[in-house]
Structure 1
Amino acid sequence: MKILMISATFPYPPTRGGTPIRTFNLLRYLSQRHPVTLVTQRSEDVSDQEVEELRQYVDQLVIFPRPHSDQTQAGTWAKIKRFGEFVLEGTPPSVRSIYSPAMQDWIDQWVNSGYCEAITCEHSVNEIFVRQAWKQQLKTVVDVHSSIYGTCRQQLETHTAEKPLRDRLNLPLLHRYEKRYCSKFSLIVATTVEDRHQLQAFNPEATFEIIPNGVDLDQFPLRTQDPGGHRLIFVGTMDYIANIDAARYFSLEIFPQLRERYGEAKLVLAGARPVPEVSELSKIPGIEVTGRVPSMAEYLHQATVCIVPMRIGFGIKNKTLEAMAAGVPVVASNSGLEGLAVDGANVPLRALRANTTEEYIAAISQLFEDAQLRQKLSENGRNLIESEYTWERVGQRYEQVLSF
């Protein structure tokens, strides 16, 4: 099967997090069994060495420069112009910003020449390069990652939107946009049941598959010992709104109360590109903001408990899977545990659930004081990842949906 993968995000190295992790690992699995052509874009922070390393994993690598975006232009007129284009064209500015006419021409010629039997869009923004008519002649798949309409609505409902007025204006337009692009594909892939429900409302007749994220067990080995103590960790890229909100929520509302109970408690906020709103949290006694770290697994292994206090965002969370793979007990919100069976009837206890300040303090205190419970969550969490969430298993499922 000849596969064309479209990813405006350069998917290497996978340590960049988020979209690159999923795209690279799916690409790596498929390329071992099928000829894969990857068409992508290169931003200024991508090195020549990274390009050459990625080239080893594909049959053909086609790279276009990242288009210059007017997204950063400030001023009332620039904002009105972007909104007007959204209304008239039906495509969000964040999606239009990746559009490259040269890249579109290359994809058109590749498809029209019959060089591929299946197209995958790795993240929904890449739908902009796919023609409606192609669904009639080959398999077209969009790997959504998460619903942008659902995320926008959730941020408004939880009062976590950065720009509420803008988002309220955009919400009906995003609804129209997702409904339109969902109709272009022969298959839509979501990472969780919850995200599928978001998307299914747009096109009930569409074919959906749920394919979660995975973990590279070589990069996240099981820790060899429980460090004990009162050390917490939260991981993620720290310029992403959902992670910024989670870091600030826990640091400002929960951690000070834990610190009153456990005077030596420490919270590590580990992840690349911390914005000022995150960096300033290091002024709070007991909190360390690391920036990019050489090995996230090593930082996880040093933690007593990993917290995932997400309040917004859909889809399965890499940070939760990686902590469980590393054998670190997890305390997480419903959002942080989305898509995972970790508690309830006939389910081994694999993580503790918390959604309020009181629940976080109770769950974390319980783990601080109970080594046997920490060991139980460590073993059960690792067993879940080994049985259900390796990239090998995820890749197999992705290959299956492309083949039928």
Structure 2
Amino acid sequence: MNSIIEGVLQKKAAAVAEAAKPDLLLLVHRIPYPPNKGDKIRSYHLLKHLAGKYRVHLATFVDDEADWQYVPNVEALCASSHFARLDPKKGKLRSAGALATGKSLSLAYYRDAGMQQWVTHTMREHGIARVMMFSSVMAQYAEQFPAARRVIDFCDVDSDKWRQYAEKKKWPMSWVYRHEAKSLLDYERRVAEICDASLFVSEPEAELFRGLAPENRAKIGFFNNGVDTEYFSPERSYDNPFAAGEQAMVFTGAMDYWPNIDAVKWFAAEVLPRVRAAVPQARFYIVGSRPAPEVQALAGDAIAVTGTVPDVRPYLAHCSVAVAPLRIARGIQNKVLEAMAMARPVVASPQASRGHRRRQRARTARRRRP
């Protein structure tokens, strides 16, 4: 009987504690679950952290039909939530219209009247005074609430990523990407102006934006990505997915993402032949969801394209080396952190390793301080 009473009291105390939490609106451009790719890892842990301190009201998009099954996982962390289906075809049509009028393609792609209505209703119904935005495109849903304390996690300087795209593409796409780089930077600066704080994934990324938006320098900061070292642990036992005698080189990532596509194509054409000339048993494994047709076309004797796998850890645990040959990259790369946590050697391009090197130098400098 006492245990039953104690259980009831504990539940009541938990409910009282939950009700006492302040309300917070969280806006995320992609459902923050499962945490199996860069932005989802960061947004999921952000949601999990905020849910411990606030009653979180989440508005987010679902751009992959397979992700609808994870809605209950996210709802369990939220006081209320709104999930909007993001149709790529309709989004591209909105972007085309924005291009014709000189506006940002990204903002138009993520524009949704139903989401704006839900946000406006939720803000008023709960008297919400705190808003957290994840990525620049979600700031458009909080512009009309100047009385709220607004913080944005830009993660990366997305406008600079579009600038890099423009340098790699031929006309007319180079012109389109330059247009987006300029229009999105203009919006990023405006968002930074109206927000109480603008955060990025690393100090170098924050410093880049300070140079692009010097008028907001004092409000720009960062918080690093991390990795779950208990989950990505080399001490666990994993089945070997490779054939006997193979020397596997592994790249992990979402394979419908253009910087990843560009990275594996470049590596397959420029690096892999040289490696195999010296090590004939070397094989390149491209491990990641939704491989684009041009990635699938790489598959052959020297290259394996796995598509979605239930767990990337066996591939990391048994590979000879993890590679991150990104030529377009911003901030901290989770794929590098995960491979390092698994105690695997990593060969990375300067672009992929830049944020990690500066992060390590900063830590070393702090340790050396008297």
TM-score, with structure 1 as normaliser:
0.75
Q: Relative to 1, partners in 2 of residues 1:302 and 1:164: Cα closer, same or farther, differing over 3 Å?
A: same
Q: Relative to 1, partners in 2 of residues 1:110 and 1:72: Cα closer, same or farther, differing over 3 Å?
A: closer
Q: CA deviation at 1:179?
A: 2.1
For 1:346 and 1:116, locate their aligned partners in 2 and report how far apart those are by CA, in whole Å: 37
**Residue 101, structure 1, aligned to residue 113, structure 2:** yes
1:331 maps to what in 2? 347
For 2:359 and 2:149, locate their aligned partners in 1 and report how far apart those are by CA, in whole Å: 37
Q: How does 1:1-400 map to 2 (within 5 A)?
A: 1-15=22-36, 17-43=37-63, 45-46=65-66, 49-66=69-86, 69-73=89-93, 81-85=97-101, 87=102, 90=103, 92-113=104-125, 115-131=127-143, 133-134=145-146, 137-158=147-168, 163-206=173-216, 207-223=219-235, 230-283=247-300, 285-341=301-357
For 1:34 and 1:26, locate their aligned partners in 2 and report how far apart those are by CA, in whole Å: 12
For 1:49 and 1:218, locate their aligned partners in 2 and report how far apart those are by CA, in whole Å: 26
Q: CA deviation at 1:102?
A: 2.3
Check conservation: 1:5, 1:39, Cα contact below 8 A: yes
Task: Give the unaligned 5+ runs of structure 1.
Answer: 349-404
Secondary structure, aligned partner of 1:314: coil
Letter in 1 for 2:107: V
Greater relative contact order (Cα < 8 A, sep 6+): 1
Check conservation: 1:143, 1:189, Cα contact below 8 A: yes
Letter in 1 for 2:186: R
Letter in 2 for 1:305: V
Letter in 2 for 1:126: M
Q: Relative to 1, partners in 2 of residues 1:129 and 1:346: Cα closer, same or farther, differing over 3 Å?
A: closer
Secondary structure, aligned partner of 2:347: strand
Check conservation: 1:305, 1:330, Cα contact below 8 A: yes
For 2:358 and 2:95, locate their aligned partners in 1 and report how far apart those are by CA, in whole Å: 44
Q: Could you list the per-position Cα deviations for residues 296-347 of structure 1 after superposition, in whole angstroms to 9, with x for gaps in the alignment? A: 0111101011011111021111111111111111111122113223899898
Q: CA deviation at 1:223?
A: 4.5
Q: CA deviation at 1:146?
A: 1.4
Check conservation: 1:183, 1:203, Cα contact below 8 A: no
Q: Relative to 1, partners in 2 of residues 1:240 and 1:298: Cα closer, same or farther, differing over 3 Å?
A: same
Q: CA deviation at 1:44?
A: 5.8
Letter in 2 for 1:97: Y
Q: Relative to 1, partners in 2 of residues 1:297 and 1:225: Cα closer, same or farther, differing over 3 Å?
A: closer
For 1:305 and 1:167, locate their aligned partners in 2 and report how far apart those are by CA, in whole Å: 34
Q: Could you list the per-position Cα deviations for residues 98-146 of structure 1 after superposition, in whole angstroms to 9, with x for gaps in the alignment? A: 2222221222233344532321111221011111652xx3321111121
Check conservation: 1:132, 1:184, Cα contact below 8 A: no
Q: Could you list the per-position Cα deviations for residues 156-201 of structure 1 after superposition, in whole angstroms to 9, with x for gaps in the alignment? A: 3455899213223444333323222222211101012222133223
Q: Relative to 1, partners in 2 of residues 1:96 and 1:169: Cα closer, same or farther, differing over 3 Å?
A: closer
TM-score, with structure 2 as normaliser:
0.81
Q: Could you list the per-position Cα deviations for residues 209-247 of structure 1 after superposition, in whole angstroms to 9, with x for gaps in the alignment? A: 211112223431125699996321111111101100110
For 1:105 and 1:220, locate their aligned partners in 2 and report how far apart those are by CA, in whole Å: 40
For 1:254 and 1:125, locate their aligned partners in 2 and report how far apart those are by CA, in whole Å: 36
For 1:317 and 1:296, locate their aligned partners in 2 and report how far apart those are by CA, in whole Å: 15
For 1:211 and 1:265, locate their aligned partners in 2 and report how far apart those are by CA, in whole Å: 37
Over the matched positions of the two proteins, sequence identity in percent amounts to: 26
For 1:143 and 1:311, locate their aligned partners in 2 and report how far apart those are by CA, in whole Å: 24
2:13 maps to what in 1? none
Identify which range, 167-176 or 29-38, moves more after superposition.
167-176
For 1:267 and 1:106, locate their aligned partners in 2 and report how far apart those are by CA, in whole Å: 46
Secondary structure, aligned partner of 1:259: helix
For 2:190 and 2:253, locate their aligned partners in 1 and report how far apart those are by CA, in whole Å: 32
2:14 maps to what in 1? none
Letter in 1 for 2:35: P
For 2:235 and 2:171, locate their aligned partners in 1 and report how far apart those are by CA, in whole Å: 37
Task: Give the unaligned 5+ runs of structure 2.
Answer: 1-21, 365-370
Identify which range, 263-272 or 161-170, moves more after superposition.
161-170
Q: Relative to 1, partners in 2 of residues 1:158 and 1:198: Cα closer, same or farther, differing over 3 Å?
A: farther
Secondary structure, aligned partner of 2:355: coil
Structure 1 vs Structure 2 CA RMSD: 3.0
Check conservation: 1:182, 1:202, Cα contact below 8 A: no
Check conservation: 1:11, 1:20, Cα contact below 8 A: yes
Q: Number of residues paired by the alignment?
A: 337
Identify which range, 320-329 or 174-183, moves more after superposition.
174-183
Secondary structure, aligned partner of 2:326: coil
Q: Relative to 1, partners in 2 of residues 1:116 and 1:124: Cα closer, same or farther, differing over 3 Å?
A: same
Identify which range, 215-224 or 336-345, moves more after superposition.
336-345
For 1:217 and 1:188, locate their aligned partners in 2 and report how far apart those are by CA, in whole Å: 28
For 1:38 and 1:345, locate their aligned partners in 2 and report how far apart those are by CA, in whole Å: 36
Q: Relative to 1, partners in 2 of residues 1:140 and 1:160: Cα closer, same or farther, differing over 3 Å?
A: farther
